[in-house]
Amino acid sequence: MLALAYKFIRYDRAKSIGIITAIVISIFLIGQQLSLMFFLMGLMGNLVGNAYVSDNQLWIIESQSSNINAVNVIDRRLVQQIASLPEVESTYPVVVAPAQASFLDGKTAPVTLIGTNSPSFIMGPLESKIHEGRLIDLIQPASVSAELYNAKTWKTTLELNKPIEINGKSAKIALITKNAQTFGASIMYTSIENAQMLGNVSPSKVSIIIATVKNVEDKAKVRRDIEQLFPNLRAWDANKLKNSSVMEIMITSNMGMSFGTLVLFA
């Protein structure tokens, strides 16, 4: 059968070349669309991917949200209340605040401030994603990080100690990250105090609470207890929250349907 097929290929070379070319182009298009989709999916969950995630953590957000990139504020007093549970070892408040950065050359850009307690900086960025500077430098007043690859988007240059303005307040770049970008607005990591000050966030509000459980075996029980005691909250495993964020964005933005249609046509 293969010998007969080879004879047909040699007999009508024009059609054979056309078919092989079409197959190569189709494979290229499928690979291109899938690669782009997986890249964007990685960005959608990178807020979790940039953090110091462990198996004994629960990420607690407002119950109406299932997307880590779009969370509502919650009362900061809940941080201490959850920490008082017998199975919980510690809790970490996180502030997520939208803001506008202004550079000395007149360029402006929407950013999202990610503030966590120092010196742990449990939300990141990971050491492997630090390009210049030290994580501890974010403790300094009005100090933030900036993503290396955002320099081209912002049409500006990035260097350590570069003065900028955030929401009209003086700040500086104390850390430059690499491959720490997320889907949507550019993120800037900082301390929780700086995020509250620069992002005009009330000290009585936080966006996320990360709880560390004493024993991993008690994780499911702690999650149920939190959701029962605090009906307005929902406790997530970090990786499940990451996957939920990706799925919600793909569905609500119709990106999943778009990429799926393109791959099927290819």
Q: What is the pLDDT of residues 212-240, one digit of tens each?
A: 999 999 999 999 999 999 999 999 999 99
Which has more confidence, 90 or 2? 90
What number is the average pLDDT over the span 101-115? 89
Distance of CA 121 to the CA centre of its chain: 15
Q: What is residue 60's predicted lDDT score, i.e. its pLDDT? A: 95
Q: Are 146 and 176 in contact (CB under 8 A)?
A: yes
d(CA 117, CA 125): 13
What integer is the mean pLDDT of 54-81? 92
Three-class DSSP labels, the chain: CHHHHHHHHHHCHHHHHHHHHHHHHHHHHHHHHHHHHHHHHHHHCHHHHCCCCCCCEEEEEECCCCCCCCCCCEECHHHHHHHCCCCEEEEEEEEEEEEEEEECCCCEEEEEEEEECCCCCCCCCCHHHEEEECHHHHHCCCEEEEECCHHHHHCCCCCCCEEEEECCEEEEEEEEECCCCCCCCEEEEEEHHHHHHHCCCCCCEECEEEEEECCHHHHHHHHHHHHHHCCCEEEECHHHHHHHHHHHHHHHCCHHHHHHHHHHHC
CA separation for the pair 114, 138 (Å, rounded): 11
Task: Indicate the pairing of strand 108-116 with strand 88-103.
Answer: antiparallel
**φ and ψ at 155, to 5 degrees?**
55, 50
Residue 185 in this model has a pLDDT that exceeds 90: no
Percentage of the chain modeled with pLDDT above 70: 92
Average model confidence (pLDDT) across the chain: 87
Q: Determine the Cα–Cα distance for residues 57 and 75; give it in Å rounded to an integer.
A: 20
Q: Where are the domains of the chain?
A: 2-46+249-265, 52-238
> According to the model, what pLDDT value does residue 11 have?
65
**CA terminus-to-terminus distance, the chain:** 28
**Whole-prediction pTM value?**
0.86
Give 32's pLDDT tier (boundaries 50, 70, 90). confident
